[in-house]
Amino acid sequence: MSAGRDIILGRVRKALGRGPLPPEKQLKLRSRLAHPKRNLVPQRGDLAGPELVGLFVTMARKADAEVERLSDWSQVPNAVRQYLDRNHLPLNINLAPEPLLQALDWDGFQVWRDLPRREDKVAVTGCFAAAAETGTLVVTSGPEHATSLNLLPDHHLVVLPASRIRGSYEDTWDMLRLAYPDAPPRTVLWITGPSRTGDIEQTLQLGAHGPLRLQILLIDDLDDA
Amino acid sequence: MRVTSPGFKANAGRALTDPQLQKALKRLKGGFQVARLKAAEQLPEFEALRDQAREIKDFTLAHLDFYLELFEERVGFAGGKVHWAANASAAREIVLDICREAGAKKILKGKSMVTEEIGLNDHLEAHGLQVIETDLGEYIIQLRKEPPSHIIAPAIHVSKDQVSEDFRKHHTDLEPKRPLEEPRELLDEARQILREHFLTADVGITGANFLVAASGSSVIVTNEGNGDLTQTLAKTHIVVASIEKVVPTMEDCATLLRVLSRSATGQELSVYTTFSTGPRRAGDPDGPVDYHVVLLDNGRTQLLGNEFREVLRCIRCGSCMNSCPVYGAVGGHAYGWVYPGPIGAVLTPALVGVEKAWHLPSASSFCGKCEEVCPVRIPLPKLMRHWRERAFEAGKAPATQRFGLKIWSLFARRPGLYRLATRLASRLLRMLGRKRGSLSKLPLAGGWTSERDLPVPPGPTFSDLYHRRKS
Amino acid sequence: MPTKPEVGLFVTCLIDFFRPSAAFAAVQLLQDAGCSVTVPKAQTCCGQPAFNSGDSGDARAVARTVLKTFAPFQYVVVPSASCAGMIRHFPELFKDTEHAETAVSLAARTHELTGFLVDVLGVTSVRADFPHAAAYHDSCSALREMGIRDQPRQLLRSVTGLQLCELSDAETCCGFGGTFCVKYPEISGKMAAAKTRDITESGANTLVGPDMGCLLNMAGRLSRENSHIQVRHIAEVLAGQTAAPPIAGPETE
């Protein structure tokens, strides 16, 4: 195995016409990683407050996500109930074990708090952040958020506080590095709309292997943020 | 995988007369190409981002050893393991060993061109493992035992009727009366079948669109969600990626992502962009317990050191084939191996040998559209021309062509002789076809006249007329 | 008083052989724009057929004639974007040879005809009559190699009576591609057929373009399809020299 390593690195250096980089050059390259430099970031996301939230909503809808705006967390269960009613679904949800979600009043729901099972149709989760430039949700794995929750159930309902919306991908990486200084979580998943495929005669269809629908419950918490 | 590239001409001939394929190719033009243009128009910085994307790739390639070692180190910090495979067979063995060690029976795969390149599925199946492709397009062509015909839309050549037939043939539990014609019905059937596989897989294998050195993360970009289910639900996740996929930082990756989806499908961003770092952490309810990355060379280091280095910038978006009139005429299978279109015309000779694949870089009108749309600005026509140089040196060009060039060169470097020869040729053509203005047949010009008439000069050459007039 | 721009006209082998009227028209357009035009006798081909076939040796041998013949001129003007583009490749072809410097300098002084008229000389209109619906074909070399898109259109719009038609798929190759069209005739034919369909649907009765190779291909295809659409080099229309029968057209008595 290490033979392969030596062969490849040797070939790379031969192709580049040099030996291993000198230590001082390596040090310089490493120091750049500690403070990663941003490349050109599109101006599109260079907004704040309601404009930034507006851009997120526009872009998320463009990617076929549905966005519903709520004034605070306590409205979440009712919004979920209405969504289920609209879609003729029973009040069974798979709820991510996040404290803010768990603390809500889920009276009248059948709530499953473990990994999704074959029969689970609806997942309700939070999310770490969002990038307005493309209406993208940033979801992280961890004890409070199984990755399969984002993928297995047919309906994914995501609760997103407006205060977690940033303009660009780079902004969300800055947030992530603050929250996880040593290493990113196992999975950082960017979600932009519900899953889709065009593999049969290039006919676009929503709902391939992931969710058929992506419903974003956007909490307007900008004032108290 | 069998290489049929030497038979490009025959392959292309068949493709041109295949009405079903021609219908599919027509759709391509209105689809991806138009969508890409729209997406580019909607982002004012798109052209500048392409420049930066190119610079990021060039910089990384110039320090490739450093970033590969760093990537290995960071994967190790996160609890994963990096394996180095100098060639295809080493990569196949490494993957097989990991599968065996995991006691695996069922292997699921996310879409990966590099595993097509190394013929991984056949190898694993030959050793008794069940391998299931999970991308819908890949799943369809796996059932049909066909290679992909497009790097991001592998089943683009297949009609829905054919898919329906394939499903009825292979899904033996299917109710004969159940309707299975429309794309939605077909998708639902595949979703249901693959869902069961996702939940019972032992190993999930994916490729990588990028490897981020700073964090030791592998990145996949998908729309269906199959890649994520593949790598989340199995106990072991194996990433197979070629060495040029590495980029320094998440910031660099962000820049490349901004040009990737827009160039590929015209989406602002694909539905799922997944950054995977190591195996699941303590307390994580799901995710793989083991995480392996197989770094593959298989000829890349050779390209790094010769006139083809720029092809290593490729991020496999497929925009070159979407815009290529030759691909648009003959489709992907005519190219006869894994990578079709302009990128295939440059990569294939490097990976299977120019003696087998010389037709591919030769069959281009050098219209330059591929270079125009390439997100990392690979000068594809120039690189194809370099392959033509190598093929010419190797004596691969047909004898008639070599002979023709010699005769032409003999005259073209002697202006006096050239004038005499063109004067005679012009007279001859006019004798044959001046009245009509064109010829529909001419000995030795069948390549021209099989498709079009040959215009006849209306009079003597310009050189004769002009200098006669002047004197 | 500024001196006249000294132009060496590189006729190109295809125009020399198939379309003398286009070269005469080019001479006139350049003279009308105030240039002193020389047509060197010692010219043949730019070397592109060999260059694109991977035969650098023969390409260099032929290209050396071009270097030698045209080095003295202030400008080299070519009524063909593809051959002008080939001269722009000379620096690559002569890299690390004794001609490297000449090649770089010649490449920088070489222009396609309509680009030269508009971008270098500042010509904005021509004096010509052509009462026809004409479509302009963007040859790939003009469009992508030489940056020629608006220049010929601007000049065509100034032609009295000319109605400019746009092709719906203007930026797609016609299938000529030099030796490509005879090496892979069926693929080339498929591309040419798509192009002639587009031309026919544009409503034009005349097709003009800046590259003789593409024009021969499309004229030959249109002739095979018994189309009534006439094909001419753009220089003929811009110079008002349209007495010659169209390309592949029958002799007029």
Q: What is the pLDDT of residues A35-66, one digit of tens each?
A: 899 999 999 999 999 999 999 999 999 999 99
Alpha-carbon distance of B67 to B249, in angstroms, equals 10
Residue C100 corresponds to which tokens in the numbers above? 């490297």
Alpha-carbon distance of B230 to B206, in angstroms, equals 8
> Is B374 part of any domain?
no
> Is A37 part of any domain?
no
User: What confidence score (pLDDT) does residue B396 get?
Assistant: 85
User: A 95-154 residues with CB below 8 A of B?
Assistant: 114-115, 118, 133-136, 141-143, 146-148, 150-152
| Parallel/antiparallel/unpaired status of strands A136-140 and A187-191 | antiparallel
Whether the pLDDT of residue B380 is over 70: the answer is yes
**Residue at a domain's end among B273, B298, B323:** B298
Whether the pLDDT of residue A1 is over 80: the answer is no
What domain range is A69 assigned to? Answer: 47-219
Q: Which residue does chain C place closest to B29, by CA atoms?
A: C169
Across the range C7-11, mean pLDDT stands at: 98
User: What confidence score (pLDDT) does residue A225 get?
Assistant: 44
H/E element holding A156? strand A155-161
Across the range A56-81, mean pLDDT stands at: 98
Q: Are residues B280 and B426 in the same domain?
A: no
pLDDT (tens digit, 9 = 90+) per residue, B40-55?
A: 999 999 999 999 999 9
> Is A117 part of any domain?
yes
**What are the angstrom distances between the C-alpha of B435 and each of A3, B108, B427, C176, C205?**
74, 68, 13, 25, 22
Alpha-carbon distance of C183 to C59, in angstroms, equals 19
User: Contact B364/C177, CB-based, under 8 Å?
Assistant: yes
Say whether the A–C interface has 3 or more Cβ pairs within 8 Å.
no
- Please indicate if any CB of chain C lies within 8 Å of the CB of B280: no
Cα within 13 Å of Cα(C93), Cβ side: 30
DSSP code string of B336-404: -SS--HHHHHHHHHHHH-HHHHTHHHHS-----HHHHH-TT---HHHHHHHHHHHHHHTT-S-HHHHHH
Whether the pLDDT of residue C1 is over 60: the answer is no
User: What confidence score (pLDDT) does residue B175 get?
Assistant: 87
For C68-92, b/e burial (b = at least 16 CB within 10 A) is ebbeebebbbbbbbbbbbbbbbbbe
> Is A193 part of any domain?
yes
User: What confidence score (pLDDT) does residue C227 get?
Assistant: 97
Residues paired with A9 in a beta bridge: none
pLDDT (tens digit, 9 = 90+) per residue, B304-318?
A: 999 999 999 999 999
User: What is the residue-averaged pLDDT of chain A?
Assistant: 95
Q: Which of B52, B206, B212, B269 to mutate to test the interface with A (most CBs of A within 10 A)?
A: B269
C-alpha distance across the termini of chain C, in Å: 47
Q: Which of C15, C24, C31, C44 to mutate to test the interface with B (most CBs of B within 10 A)?
A: C44
pLDDT (tens digit, 9 = 90+) per residue, A182-211?
A: 999 999 999 999 999 999 999 999 999 999
pLDDT (tens digit, 9 = 90+) per residue, C147-158?
A: 999 999 999 999
User: A 185-224 residues with CB below 8 A of B?
Assistant: 185-203, 205, 207-211
Say whether the C–B interface has 3 or more Cβ pairs within 8 Å.
yes
Indicate the pLDDT class of residue B5, thresholds 50, 70 and 90: very high
pLDDT (tens digit, 9 = 90+) per residue, B440-455?
A: 999 889 999 999 999 9
Whether the pLDDT of residue A224 is over 90: the answer is no
Alpha-carbon distance of C132 to A122, in angstroms, equals 65
Express as a percent the part of chain B with pLDDT over 90.
92
Residues of A in contact with B153 (CB under 8 A): 198-199, 202
Name the domain count of chain B. 2
Alpha-carbon distance of C171 to C138, in angstroms, equals 6
How many B×C Cβ pairs under 8 Å? Answer: 217
For B20-49, b/e burial (b = at least 16 CB within 10 A) is ebbebbeebbebbbebbeebbeebeebeeb
User: What confidence score (pLDDT) does residue C171 get?
Assistant: 96
CATH 3.30.460.80 fits C125-239, yes or no: no
Name the domain count of chain A. 1
> Is B120 part of any domain?
yes
Q: Which of B23, B65, B82, B307 to mutate to test the interface with A (most CBs of A within 10 A)?
A: B65
Across the range B199-228, mean pLDDT stands at: 97
Indicate the pLDDT class of residue B470, thresholds 50, 70 and 90: confident
> Is B218 part of any domain?
yes
Q: Which of B159, B193, B272 to mutate to test the interface with A (most CBs of A within 10 A)?
A: B272
Say whether the B–A interface has 3 or more Cβ pairs within 8 Å.
yes
**Residue at a domain's end among B278, B298, B318:** B298
- Residue A178 identity (one-letter amino acid): L
> Is B316 part of any domain?
no
Alpha-carbon distance of C93 to B389, in angstroms, equals 12
pLDDT (tens digit, 9 = 90+) per residue, C174-233?
A: 999 999 999 999 999 999 999 999 999 999 999 999 999 999 999 999 999 999 999 999
> Is B118 part of any domain?
yes
Across the range B419-431, mean pLDDT stands at: 95
Alpha-carbon distance of C84 to C211, in angstroms, equals 10
> Is A10 part of any domain?
no
Indicate the pLDDT class of residue C253, thresholds 50, 70 and 90: low
User: What confidence score (pLDDT) does residue B400 get?
Assistant: 84
Whether the pLDDT of residue A151 is over 90: the answer is yes
DSSP code string of B92-159: HHHHHHHHHHTT-SEEEE---HHHHHTTHHHHHHHTT-EEEE-SHHHHHHHHHT---SSSS-TTTT--
Alpha-carbon distance of B224 to B187, in angstroms, equals 11
Cα within 13 Å of Cα(B135), Cβ side: 25
Across the range B20-38, mean pLDDT stands at: 91
User: What confidence score (pLDDT) does residue B330 get?
Assistant: 98
Alpha-carbon distance of A142 to A125, in angstroms, equals 12
**Residue at a domain's end among B271, B298, B325:** B298
Q: What is the CATH number of the domain that holds A163?
A: 3.40.50.10420
Distance of CA B66 to the CA centre of its chain: 27
Q: Which residue does chain B place closest to C140, by CA atoms?
A: B367
Whether the pLDDT of residue B356 is over 60: the answer is yes
Across the range A137-163, mean pLDDT stands at: 97
> Is B436 part of any domain?
yes
User: What confidence score (pLDDT) does residue B469 get?
Assistant: 86
- Please indicate if any CB of chain C lies within 8 Å of the CB of B22: no
Alpha-carbon distance of B202 to B142, in angstroms, equals 19
Cα within 13 Å of Cα(B286), Cβ side: 22
Q: Where are the CATH 3.40.50.11810 domain residues in chain C?
A: 125-239
Across the range B334-354, mean pLDDT stands at: 97
What domain range is B405 assigned to? Answer: 399-470
Nearest partner of A123 among A90, A88, A160, A148, judged by Cα: A148
Q: Please state the ipTM of this predicted complex.
A: 0.97
User: C 14-33 residues with CB below 8 A of B?
Assistant: 15-21, 23-24, 27
